[in-house]
Amino acid sequence: MDTIPLDLRGLKCPLPVLRVRKALSMAQAGTLLVVHCTDPMAAIDLPNLARETGNVIERQGDADGAIVFHIRKAA
């Protein structure tokens, strides 16, 4: 399966959500997006995006001063 890293550190709302939405729309089913964000709103916005689009956040946590999301593209 493919993995797409997205380094969105330094971007402010709504850019992280827009970039993740675009990456998901271009990804094949089963692709894993590994997203690094520093915008605190991403902790709210990205789970809402996943819920609205039917994709799955497999993991969410902090690393190196960023919020890290592992988002799996649904079928």
List residues with catalytic annotation: 13
- Can you tell me which residue has the tokens 């902090």? 62
| DSSP codes joined into one string, the chain | --EEEEEETT--TTHHHHHHHHHHHHSPTTPEEEEEE--TTHHHHHHHHHHHHT-EEEEEEEETTEEEEEEEPP-
